[in-house]
């Protein structure tokens, strides 16, 4: 992907924003855990279905990743780039003012799309870099202790999820 360089200040602001989101996720976990009647044991933590802060973190991270890999986003970037090249070439051969306006329009659209994509990349990288302590993308289980549900349990869950 052809992205552009952002100002150092913009990059720092985006990184601080991502750190703030991670801090919010950790605060949500602390807030929710403070309401438990007793401190969870290690076994409780390992078997926990989800952690509210972790779920919030994963939803933000998933949204950013979806933006980076979205076919619509990637095709828009490609369309902007192709149209900029096309209209720039037309203007170079015709020297018509209208063609220059079209070329400059697509140059601006390409710049806007690249800036947005770059900002999303920076946010995503920062969210991964500053992830909450002990987070797990598998909602409480680790790659070592993941369990496959029984067929009956999976069917029961599917019934529950049909709503």
Q: Which of 108, 111, 83, 107 is nearest to 6 (CA)?
A: 111
Q: Say if CB 127 and CB 57 are below 8 A apart.
A: yes
Whether residue 5 is predicted with pLDDT greater than 70 in this model: the reply is: yes
The band of 114, judged by pLDDT with boundaries at 50, 70 and 90, is: very high
Q: What are 55-60's contacts with CB under 8 Å, separation 24+?
A: 55/139, 56/24, 56/25, 56/28, 57/21, 57/22, 57/25, 57/127, 57/131, 57/132, 57/135, 58/135, 58/137, 58/139, 60/21, 60/25, 60/127
Whether residue 146 is predicted with pLDDT greater than 60 in this model: the reply is: no
pTM, entire model: 0.74
Which residues neighbour 55 within 8 Å (Cβ) at sequence distance 6 or greater? Answer: 139
Chain-centre distance for alpha carbon 156: 31
Residue 4: its pLDDT value, please?
A: 84
Residue 140: its pLDDT value, please?
A: 46
pLDDT digits (tens, 9 = 90+) for 51-102: 778 888 888 998 999 999 999 999 999 999 999 999 999 999 999 999 999 9
Which residues neighbour 61 within 8 Å (Cβ) at sequence distance 6 or greater? Answer: 124, 127, 128
% of the chain residues with pLDDT over 70: 83
Residue 139: its pLDDT value, please?
A: 47
Residue 6: its pLDDT value, please?
A: 93
d(CA 42, CA 22): 23
């Amino acid at each position: 992907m052809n992205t552009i360089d952002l100002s150092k200040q913009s990059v720092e602001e985006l990184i601080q924003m991502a750190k703030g989101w991670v801090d919010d996720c950790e605060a949500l976990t602390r807030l929710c855990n403070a309401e438990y009647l007793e401190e969870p044991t290690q076994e409780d933590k390992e078997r926990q279905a989800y952690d509210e802060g972790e779920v919030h973190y994963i939803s933000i991270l998933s949204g950013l990743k979806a933006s980076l890999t979205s076919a619509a986003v990637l095709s828009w970037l490609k369309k902007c780039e192709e149209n900029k090249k096309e209209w720039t070439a037309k203007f170079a051969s015709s020297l018509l003012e209208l063609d220059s306006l079209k070329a400059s329009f697509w140059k601006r659209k390409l710049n806007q799309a690249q800036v947005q994509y770059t900002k999303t990349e920076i946010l995503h990288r920062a969210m991964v870099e500053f992830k909450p302590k002990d987070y797990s993308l598998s909602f409480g289980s680790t790659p070592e202790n993941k369990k496959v549900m029984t067929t009956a349990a999976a069917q029961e869950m599917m019934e529950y999820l049909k709503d």
